Structure 1
Amino acid sequence: MTRTEANRPAANRSAAPRTEGLSLHAFTDLDDDAPEIGPFVSALEAFDRLPLLGELKKLAIQRTRTGPGATVLDVGCGFGLESLRLARAVTPGGSVTGVDASARFVAEAQRRAAAEGLTVTFVEGDAADLPFPDDAFDVTRAERVLVYLPDPDAALAEMVRVTRPGGRIAVITPDFDTNTIGVGDRATTRAILAHEADTAVVHPWLPRTLGPALRAAGAHDVEVASRMVVLSPDLAASYFATVGRSAAAAGAVSEEDAQVWVAEIAQRHREGTLFAAIGYYLFTATV
């Protein structure tokens, strides 16, 4: 992953996450000079709790046959949310390695693994130049990472390289043009969401080309599954309010239109009528 979402981005919880004012584009700019990683951790934990995203994670485990004895690489592991779950799934006899571009995320992942008594190897590294030998893993996965990378094809080639012949690859990624929210007039909403799709990440349409890219990297038997992931009201309110303000700051919509749009989000949130979602895709393939 990059020093981004590092790679990753969505959530369900009763208490609102500390995501107010934190745009997804901030993950693209995240590096180890950032003042603190706490807001990024909170945002990722909020997204991680989305039930329908959880369904794709479980399906990825099934389709990659990740179980006891498997060796797994988690590319763009962040602070280890999924790596720790996978460590439990491969027990006994298996192993999990997480790689991330952020030294501070790696340190936090190591801290969490130790606190839970789990043996997971976390290393700092670049998704486009993985620090592992050929054919080292049974399963290699990347979740909400590749959309942030300048060269996702290079990362896919590396994922294929480090996976043994017959091993499996899984990629979970959103399509930002499927962002959906039930507020505002159509013109304003379309303009705001188009601005988010064009600026939040490097490759907002990645799922549309990911199947051919996997095949070009040397994988085969590509399968695709999807979920329209519904955001919790708290997460939807904080995320899309930031999206609206960002669009106004960039001149994609007027300040007045953005204020009306954001105000309607807040009102619907208070009333319990706010709806928002985004499409996520799971690609699995054999090396």
Structure 2
Amino acid sequence: MRILVTGGSGMLGSELLRQISGAGHVGVSLDRVGFLAADKIQRKSMLDGFDVVIHAAANTNVEQCEIEPEICYFDNVFLTEKLFNYSQINKNRFVYISSTGVYGRGSSVPYHEYDVPQPTTVHHHSKLLSEKVVLASPSSLVIRTGWLFGGALSNKKNFINNRINEIRAAADFISANYMQVGSPTYVGDCAHRILELISADNAGIYNVVNEGAASRFEYVKRIVELSGAAIEVRPIDASAFNRRADVSENEAAVSYRTKFDGLSPLRPWQDALDDYMSQVGLRSCLSQ
């Protein structure tokens, strides 16, 4: 297969390109700036010759999206519309990376694919709008994931490494939100499952997350434990962050559809976290 990936320098996009190549396929990163600057003929040419387009690029700054919604809708919806339209002209299969945050606030248990989305932020509303665009094609695949971790330590959005740096800078304790719950998901496992779904010609909406749910507090506490740091993690509530975006307290998910397809769930997030921290040298890195 020849697969075109947007957001190729991002955490998920770069991992997808690595695994695409490792599986013997051809993966190419699409230049967003070049695509937007191109004319119609050039845009069509950029998508020509590919079997699949994976749209992993997005404006993920949830707070900034509330302040500048026009930029958010341009980045997350308008660009998706353009890419999808040209993919249809070229008969590329389209894969859209969405978020478990689109489910919004309506349940205290993990969401499944048949729950009704009720996004509470501009960012998540933009993601849901884009889902509706691409699902106009019966062959499109929508991946809802969230709380991704992994990737290069140099990535500014590397959640694990940022927590390690926070621990190093702290005097006696660090704090984490005990109210918000999600499904921490290793980017390597996520990318592998996405490619599995593509290879099996699956279509529609799939939640792709590691098994299990955790609060931010539980998640950070586990990172501290694995790092070997002798520091306290204190639980705080959401009000301490004074966020503009009305982010749901529950972004945890399970996948009914992969179960119905006979696929095993992804491994527990704790196991994936342990493996990742070991791979990049962060496990026991702060042991005394």
TM range (shorter): 0.3 to 0.5
Higher relative contact order (CA 8 A, sep 6+): 1
User: TM (normalized to structure 1)?
Assistant: 0.37
